[in-house]
Amino acid sequence: MGCDDMLTPHRDDVELTSPLQLPQLPNDAVWDGSIAYLDRDGVIIEGSENYVNTVDEVVLLPDSAKSVGDLRRAGYRICIVTNQSPINRGLWSSSNLSMIHDRMRQLLLRDDGDAHLDLILHSPYAPWEGAWARKPFPGMLEAGRQLIDSASSDTSLKNMNLKFGDDWSDRPDESNSVMVGDRGVDMSAAARFGVVGFLCDPDTGISSVMDSILGDSY
């Protein structure tokens, strides 16, 4: 299941395998391979049954910036993995989503200077398209791992060949990584990918599970 025969995840404004510059971890820490895969709505920002449609609707959940900063201070890279079917439903464009994500990044860094997002991946596909890149399938997590791993040694991502599903046999250990989401589809994606999932309260978001993630060190 390679890139050429599947509906792949997307990045904002650039191709999936465009160059990726990873922000330095706090205190110049050496990355040990840990990734926190985070859903967006109900985890980082307030969600809505009618979608988050404009930059004015972007509202951080309590302590979400501190939580992202704390994860990075603990050595995690941060990969947002978010279903965004309004794009393929024709409700709004990918450029609108990019502006929403730019606003989210600004608010996170305003509240915590360490709250960088290393990578944002989204699935523009509607549920009926059956995309491997749409949760509950793990395609975004699979791409996130490969992109971040590659970018940690070569930011150009030249000659990168992403693999998905059964085609990706040589997978790294994910025992030190986590997935945080507020819905069953997030936990299903985590289970299929083989990473520990933490289900958070959508009203409080990621801050409600930080004790469970970082344990005694938090």
Determine which one of 28, 41, 154, 216 is catalytic.
41
Residue 41 annotated among the catalytic residues of the structure: yes
Residue 166 annotated among the catalytic residues of the structure: no
Structure tokens given for 169: 């046999």
Determine which one of 39, 112, 114, 118 is catalytic.
39
Q: Which residues are catalytic?
A: 39, 41
